[in-house]
Structures are given as C-alpha cells and as structure tokens.
C-alpha cells in the first residue's frame, strides 16, 4: 500500500514538472530556427512573427505595400533577441517567392518554417454576380492559392534540409461554409484547404503541412473591408459563436504555433479557430 501511494505522489510530481516546463519545451522546439511569414507587417502575420520570436525563432517578414508597419514589426522581433529580415514582394509572382526563400536561407543559414499568411479579397455581395470581374478571380487566386504553392515550391529544398520542416497555410472558415467577403475569396480558401492535403501527401515524410482556418478576425483588415458595417458584423459573429467571441490576431497566432510545436504526427489537417462560430450559439 505504501509503494502504491509513493507511485501516486511520483506521478503527480511528474505532472507538475511537465506543466511548469511546458512553455520551455515549446520554446525549445523553435529556438534557433528560422521562419518566413508572408503578409507579416500587421494582423495575424505580425502576431505570429512575435510569437515565434518569443520562442527564439528568427523571422523573415514579407510585405507587399506596408513598409513602415513591416519595419516596426521587424524592430519588435529584434527587441525579443532574435534576427529579423524584411522582404518586399507580391507572392503571386513566382520570382518573388524564389528570391524570398533564398534571402531567408542566406540571412539565417537555414529555413525551418513557412507560414503562408498573405491574402487578399474584394468585398462583394454574393448575390451581385455582375460585380465580380475576371481581374477579381485572377488577383484573389493569384495571392491566396498560387502564392502559397509558389512559396512552398521555392522553400522545399530548405525545409527538407531542416529535417523538421513545417508549412502552415492560413485559410478561413469561408473556405468551409462558403460565406465570406466574396465568392472568389471563399473559393480561394476552399482551394487552399484542399491544397494543404495534397501538399502534405507530396511533401511527407520530411515536411508537415497543415492549415489554420480563422473565423471573423477583429482588426484593420476587416475594418477596412467592412467600413461602417464592421461593428454590426462583428456583433453578429460574436452572437453566433459558442464562446461569444471573435478572433484576435493573437488567437490565430496561438493556433499556428500549436501546429508547429505540437504533435509531429499531424499533417494535412485544418484547424478551425473561430470561437465556436461553426458550432453555433450557446444553447
């Protein structure tokens, strides 16, 4: 009986030790590694860059137009004691993707993590078919689908050399339920979710590929797109969600980090991070 009690105490001690060291263990999984984050000047990209930097991971911050904000993000990353690099360019251009991955490998001496976060849309009522132009399809799919593929293709040799390569695609619940800023946007995010599965199959076993599908994200992007309707749409999303909340950029960054630092047997999956929006309102 005495030995049985001792085993219980030992087990509880191990649990406590694991809990206390949990954050340290997660940091050890990304410490001294290097990541590329597309669209990282603000929002989810910036929050993810800071989360990785806190764990000791160097970050290349890609941006298309927001240079001032990208420089600020880089400064905050460096303040956390890791290296940061900036790379301006549109991921819909293959040349940009190739040069960006080469720049990351040159700056950091390695590349372990790729986060395809850059995205674009145009807010168009789903019933207004005539407002959807060919340029909308080309631009949205160019950034949201072709861009991630081109980034993965360009990063592949570096991620394979890492031995622990990870790709995270930032998709959206719009790609699951077909409701969002526009029909082309919803279709592009559905394509990205599907492509995540194809890439996971093609790149295994050396590289894991997963996606995170956020719901409504509070912040500049949705504010700019929705304009005066922002608060109304946000409130409706909160009311529709089981947790009564919408995403903050930091919530999505935490989900991304969990797929990077968690189980090494997860690949080809999409994690929904939406406050329970798809689950529905509280009963």
pLDDT digits (tens, 9 = 90+) for 111-129: 999 999 999 999 999 999 9
Six-digit token string for 21:
């060291």
In this prediction, residues 255-280 reach a mean pLDDT of 96
- Asked whether the beta carbons of 51 and 27 are under 8 A apart, the reply is no
Per-residue pLDDT of 40-53, as tens digits, reads 999 999 999 999 99
In this predicted structure, the answer to whether residue 283 has a pLDDT above a threshold of 80 is no
Per-residue pLDDT tens digits for 126-138: 999 999 999 999 9
pLDDT of residue 266: 98
Backbone angles phi, psi at 42, to 5 degrees: -160, 180
The whole-angstrom separation of Cα 209 and Cα 166 is 6
63 labelled catalytic:
no
- How many C-alpha atoms does 243 have within 13 Å on its Cβ side? 11
Domain limits, the chain: 28-273
pTM passes above 0.85: yes
Radius of gyration of the chain (CA): 20
Q: Give tens-digit pLDDT for 185-206.
A: 999 999 999 999 999 999 999 9
Q: Which residue has the higher pLDDT, 216 or 135?
A: 135
| Cα distance between residue 193 and residue 169, in whole Å | 8
Residue-level pLDDT at 226 = 81
> How far is C-alpha 59 from the geometric centre of its chain's CA atoms?
14
Q: Distance between CA atoms of 243 and 240, rounded to whole angstroms?
A: 9
Tokens representing 89 are 């360019």
Three-class SS state of 109: coil
Contact 44, 116 (CB under 8 A): no
Which H/E stretch holds residue 166?
strand 165-170
**To which H or E segment does residue 25 belong?**
helix 2-30
C-alpha 11/C-alpha 23 separation (Å) is 20
Among 63, 158, 185, 230, the active-site one is 185
**High-pLDDT (> 70) share of the chain, %:** 90
Domain 28-273 is classified in which CATH homologous superfamily? NAD(P)-binding Rossmann-like Domain (3.40.50.720)
Q: What is the pLDDT of residue 14?
A: 39
Mean pLDDT of the chain: 91
Q: With 80 as the cut, is the pLDDT of residue 95 above it?
A: yes
Q: What is the pLDDT of residues 8-33, one digit of tens each?
A: 344 344 334 445 545 545 567 899 99
Q: What per-residue confidence (pLDDT) applies to 222?
A: 83
pLDDT above 60 (res 70): yes
Q: For residue 12, what pLDDT is reported? A: 45
Quote the Cα angle for 15-18-22, to 5°: 140
The pLDDT value given to residue 234:
87
Residue (of 177, 50, 66, 56) closest to 115 by Cα position: 50
Two tokens, residue 219: 């912040």
Query: Average pLDDT of 69-76?
Result: 97
**Tokens 């700056």 -> residue:** 107
Could you tell me the pLDDT band of residue 228, with boundaries at 50, 70 and 90?
Answer: confident
């Amino acid at each position: 009986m005495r030995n049985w009690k001792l085993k219980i105490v030992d087990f509880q001690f191990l649990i406590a030790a694991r809990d206390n060291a949990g954050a340290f263990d997660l940091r050890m999984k990304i410490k001294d590694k290097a990541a590329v984050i597309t669209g990282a000047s603000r929002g989810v990209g910036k929050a993810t860059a800071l989360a990785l930097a806190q764990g000791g991971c160097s970050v290349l911050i890609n941006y298309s137009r927001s240079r001032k904000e990208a420089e600020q993000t880089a400064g905050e990353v460096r303040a956390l004691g890791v290296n940061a690099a900036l790379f301006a360019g549109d991921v819909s251009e293959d040349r940009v993707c190739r040069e960006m991955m080469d720049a990351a490998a040159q700056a950091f001496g390695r590349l372990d993590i790729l986060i395809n976060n850059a995205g674009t849309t145009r807010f168009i009522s789903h019933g207004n078919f005539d407002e959807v132009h060919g340029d909308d399809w080309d631009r949205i799919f160019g950034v949201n689908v072709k861009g991630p593929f081109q980034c993965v293709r360009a990063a592949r040799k570096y991620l394979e050399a890492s031995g622990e390569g990870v790709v995270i695609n930032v998709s959206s619940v719009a790609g699951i339920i077909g409701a969002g800023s526009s029909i082309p946007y919803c279709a592009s995010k559905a394509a990205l979710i599907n492509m995540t599965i194809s890439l996971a199959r093609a790149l295994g076993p050396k590289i894991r590929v997963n996606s995170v599908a956020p719901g409504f994200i509070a912040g500049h992007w949705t504010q700019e797109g929705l304009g005066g309707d922002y608060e109304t749409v946000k409130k409706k999303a909160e009311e529709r969600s089981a947790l009564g909340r919408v995403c903050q950029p930091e919530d999505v960054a935490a989900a991304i980090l969990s797929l990077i630092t968690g189980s090494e047997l997860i690949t080809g999956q999409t994690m929904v991070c939406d406050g329970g929006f798809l689950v529905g309102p509280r009963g």
